[in-house]
Structure formats: structure tokens, C-alpha cells
Amino acid sequence: MKKYILLIPILFSTAFSFGQNKASGKINQFTDLAGAVGSSRGTVALSYVHNWKLGKKQKWEAGLGARLTTAFGTKQEHTTAPARLARGTTVPFVIVFAEQKTENWDTLTVQRPLVNSINISANFGYNFSQQWSAGFNIDLIGFTFGRKTSAILTSNGVTQTESVAKPASFNALLTGDLDYGNLNSEFFIKYKLNNRWSIRGIYQFYFSEYKTTTIKQIAPDGTEVDRFRQKGNNFGAGISYNF
Amino acid sequence: MKKVFSLLFTAGILLTACKKEKTSSTGVSMDPVDTTAALKYRAAFDNGGYGTTTGIAKIYSKAGAYSLVLDSFSVSTGPDLHVYLSKEMQPINFIDVGLLKTTSGRQVYNINGMPDFMEYKYALIHCQQYNHLFGSAKFY
């Protein structure tokens, strides 16, 4: 845990050290608090974003940020995570569109998931007008800490109790099922209330990963699997404060 | 600005609070038992470390199908209580027969498939969400 705590300032300083001397008009810098809910689950995310405005009209913007996401729920189903088992190909980017090999999937139902992930994020936006904008953001890399909880592994109709399922501790965006850990991403529309405050409507796509400790899935190729992933669709709202 | 915060807070509460937790009824059930079914196994419940469980678990067979009957049954209330058939006294390898219908009375559960009761020799009352064993009964 100590090494993770030491990583926090490194992650934040990496995210915020770019472009500090730019003219403020070319920079959109804000903090944001967002909440989203799905089926028996929810997330709360606190983030800081530093975007550079791009293009002649400066309608586009892109940048980096850091985000703390807390995800919680009950009885969340996670399926077999390793890409070589979950999808028809493991080629980065192509994997997103590859066939799902559901015949290899087992289900880990995590009873009381609670994970906190701190990630560097990539952020993109387009300003339609003075008030309205839209954007996309996605976690890139970071780490997770959270609650260990019991889970039930269902494999070919056989059910087993996993007494200690734990959140995957390392997060990395490698595209699709190649991803590791807990990664938050959002599509949003944003309405500017005044120079400081904005509100957002959010569609969230959240990757969660739990690992088993005492029991494993035996995959069709004979390998043991302890990584299970959930891809959750959530909807929510947020409020931003511009600096 | 206060209005915006209030709106977001209220929306958050409403969205997160609308899911009803799964719990068993506290009423007394008196499910009818098929008197033409053959009694195959029976077992008395012992406490499992959480709450108090009493009663008899019975396995009936009829026309190639099994059913589990909890008779004169009573268990302390708890969240997410499930009925298992298990190979071990702790639910390591088990069949989830279903959510416990009520905390007392007689109740009948249909069992999918044809489990071998030489292997699945325990009936368990288990709080699935918190992994707490409320009661176990070993068939003989």
C-alpha cells in the first residue's frame, strides 16, 4: 500500500505539469465531481483536467488529467478477463471488434465490490457554443485499492464460493479486453452555467476487474484463470468548477 | 448554484436508493407437500455460526425429479439468505436452490438436475452477500 501512496503525487504531478506557462485563454483547467449509476452499482469520481484548446477557432480541446473513481455495488457479475480467452484476437485495437468467445467465459459474481482507482486520464472536448460542449475522457494508467469480498464462481453450471476476491491493483488501458484493472471512461455533454460552474450529463463505460485468491477457473486450454472483468454501462451527472 | 447542488444531491440519492435489497419474507409459509413423492433423505438443522436455525430438511423424489422440503423450519432474519445443497458444511462447492422464501414454516424448492446426494450431503442456509453460514443439515 505504501508504494501506491507514494505514487499518488507522481501521477498528479505528471498530469498537471504540462503547459503551466500557456496563456490562460488557451487552457481549460477544471475540477469535476461526477456520479453515475447502473444496475445495482454506482460510481463517484473526482477529477482534475488540464486541457489545451486546439485549432484556429479553438473549439477543440485535449489534455490530461487525474481521476479518483470509487465504484461500489452488490452482486456484480464479472466474466473471464484474459484477452486470449475472452476474444477471437489479441491484436490491440482490433480486439475491440473481435468476436466474443463466450464459450470460454465463466462468471464471478462479486458480492460487495468496492474499489477506489486513481488513474491518469486523457480528455477530449469540442465547444459547440459559449454554453454547450461535448467530450470524451478515458483512464490511461493507474492503480486500485479496495475491499476484499466474497464471490461466487459459476463454471459450467458448477458453483463455488470464493471467500476472498480482491480488486486488481494495476490499471492500464491497452484497448478492449487487453485492458487491466479498473478504468473509467465517459461521453458527456456539458452546459456552462457561468464562468466558473458547469454541469454535465454523462454516459459512463466502466471496466472493473476482480481477482480470485483461493479458487481458479480452469480454462478449456487447461490454464488457470484468476482475472474476471465487468464492463458496466452507467448514466450520471457531474458538476465542474473552472479555474 | 445552491439549486444545482440540491438537484444533483437529490438525484444522486434517488438513483442510488431505488434498489430494493433481496430479503426473505418473515411470514410463516405452509407450502403443500406432494404426498405421493418418496422421502429419500432427511436431516436436522444445526446452527452455523450466525443466527439460529432449526427444522428438518427433506429430499423427496418423484418421477425422476427431486425437491427439497424445509419442514418445521425457522431461521433468524438476515439479508440475502439462500438455500444451498453443498458438498461441504461450508459452501465451497454447492448448488444454489434459490433465495429462502420465508424465515419460518414449511417450504418446498424444486431441484434442477439430478445431484448425487452422496456428494451433495448438506443443506445450507447461507447469507450469500456477506458469506455467513446460518445453518447446516447433513443428510442421512
pLDDT of residue B13: 47
Residue A13, all three cell numbers: 504531478
Residue with cell 434517488: B14
Do strands A197-211 and A183-192 pair parallel, antiparallel, or not at all (unpaired)?
A: antiparallel
Residues of A in contact with B1 (CB under 8 A): 193, 197
pLDDT of residue B10: 53
DSSP H/E element including A124: strand A114-127
Q: Burial level of A206, CB count in 10 A (0-12/13-18/19+)?
A: buried
pLDDT of residue B11: 52
Kindly give, in sequence order, each residue whose CB lies less than 8 Å from that of residue A8, ignoring residues fewer than 6 positions away: A118
pLDDT of residue B5: 54
Q: Is A158 on the interface with B (CB under 8 A)?
A: yes
Q: How far is CA B31 from CA B70, B71, B73, B108, B109, in A?
A: 10, 9, 12, 6, 10
ipTM: 0.78
What single letter denotes the amino acid at residue B139?
F
Q: Is A75 on the interface with B (CB under 8 A)?
A: yes
Residue A2, all three cell numbers: 505504501
Residues of B in contact with A107 (CB under 8 A): none
pLDDT of residue B22: 67
Higher confidence at residue B15 or residue A240?
A: A240
Q: How far is CA B101 from CA A76, A198, B70, in A?
A: 22, 48, 10
Residues of B in contact with A197 (CB under 8 A): 1, 4
Residues of A in contact with B15 (CB under 8 A): 35, 37, 42, 236
pLDDT of residue B55: 96
pLDDT of residue A96: 86
Residues of B in contact with A42 (CB under 8 A): 15-16
| Residue A25 three-state SS | helix
Residue B121, all three cell numbers: 450431503
pLDDT in tens, B99-134: 999 999 999 999 998 999 999 999 999 999 999 999
pLDDT of residue A9: 47
Q: Which candidate from A111, A160, A197 shows the least CB-CB separation from B92?
A: A160
Whether residues B131 and A239 touch (CB distance < 8 A) is answered with: no
CA distance A111 to chain B (A): 5
8-state DSSP, B12: H
Residues of B in contact with A74 (CB under 8 A): 19, 21, 129
Q: pLDDT confidence of B9, banded at 50, 70, 90?
A: low
Q: Is A148 on the interface with B (CB under 8 A)?
A: no
CA distance A60 to A53: 6
pLDDT at B12 over 90: no
CA distance A145 to A1: 8
Residues of B in contact with A161 (CB under 8 A): 90-92, 94, 131
pLDDT of residue B92: 93
The percent of residues in chain B predicted with pLDDT above 90, rounded, is 67
CA distance B80 to A105: 26
Whether residues B15 and A74 touch (CB distance < 8 A) is answered with: no
Residues of chain A with pLDDT under 50: 1-2, 5-23
Whether residues B95 and A163 touch (CB distance < 8 A) is answered with: no
| Burial per residue of A103-135, b for 16 or more beta-carbon CB atoms within 10 angstroms, e otherwise | ebbbbbbbbbbebbbbbbbbbebebeeeeebeb
Q: Is A147 on the interface with B (CB under 8 A)?
A: no
pLDDT of residue B2: 58
Q: Which candidate from A111, A159, A197 shows the least CB-CB separation from B129?
A: A111
Higher confidence at residue B6 or residue A190?
A: A190
pLDDT of residue A22: 45
Find the closest chain B residue to A41 by CA distance: B16
pLDDT in tens, B75-96: 999 999 999 999 999 999 999 9
pLDDT at B19 over 90: no
